[in-house]
Amino acid sequence: MAQEADVFVEARARLVEDIRRTISEIEQRTSLNISYECVLAAIGKVPRHEFVPAAPDADAYRNRPLPIGFQQTISQPLIVALMSGLGDISNTDRVLEVGTGSGYQAAVLGELAGAVYSVEIIEPLASQAAKALKRLGYDNVHMRVGDGYTGWPEYGPYDAIIVTAAPDHIPSSLIEQLKPGGRLVIPVGDFDQQLMVVEKLADGSTREHDVIPVRFVPLTRDKD
Ligand code: SAH
């Protein structure tokens, strides 16, 4: 990457400005505190085109979701930025992601956090994402193939958990794997999904906030 001229620097800068405007509007509308400056720097850095090999490169820097095969999509950059901002992630944090997909959100989290643990249920997507992350040097992103509904308890508890597929309720296993003071960012619902932030307070109780309506692929479950 470093020696290769990156022709997408300007395209990413335009994307960043677009996201900045929208997130600042959402922040005012919801009175939520969204830490997005570091997130925007990360979006300005991560080569999204490397995570969508089937799409024309220029499409990677539109503020749109894109298909990644297996009926799954890479989320819209705005949503990646918003969820990362709501996670309020600092560089010593340990973060769990459920739904690696293309690996793009994992890379953005890798720029922000100390360590990222990401779970993907579709094996070929996981191995494609792992390859891209390795090629780009994201050594602090660790992956597992499996059902992320039950999280990844071995490496928890986590400062933040970001879920990028929608369950119809908040999985209690994920709340259990949050540190006190930690934040779960998750789309919830069948058709009418809400992006929610669940804060775990020092006494272990939780506080929920609705952010905006969203449309994610459903969180599927392993059958046993
Ligand atoms: N974060 C991704 C977006 C992926 S779309 C990105 O940046 O590209 C959601 C992903 O969640 C899909 O790849 C889907 O296969 C995965 N998924 C759905 N249910 C899951 C589950 N129970 N556990 C882990 N991954 C799941």
Give CA–CA dist 150/77, Å, rounded.
Answer: 26
- Examine the residue annotation and report whether 35 is marked as an active-site residue of this protein: no
Residues 27/33, Cβ–Cβ less than 8 Å: yes
User: Beta-strand (E) ranges in 127-216?
Assistant: 141-145, 158-163, 178-188, 193-200, 206-214
* Closest C-alpha to ligand 1, atom 17: 99
Q: What pLDDT is recorded for position 95? A: 98
Query: What pLDDT does residue 224 have?
Result: 57
pLDDT digits (tens, 9 = 90+) for 2-39: 444 578 999 999 999 999 999 999 999 998 889 899 99
Residue 5's pLDDT is 55
Is the minimum distance from the CB of 122 to ligand 1 under 6 angstroms?
A: yes
Give the CA count within 13 Å in the CB-facing half-sphere of 118: 32
Is cis: bond before 77, omega within 30 of 0? Answer: no
Is the CB of 40 within 6 Å of ligand 1? no
Q: Quick one: pLDDT at residue 204? A: 93
The size of the chain, in residues, is: 224
Residue 173 has which token pair?
A: 């296993």
Task: Extract the residue ranges of the chain whose pLDDT is less than 70.
Answer: 1-5, 224
Pairing state between β 115-120 and 178-188 = unpaired
CB 78 within 8 Å of CB 102:
no
Q: List, in order, residues 6 or more apart from 21 with CB less than 8 Å away.
A: none
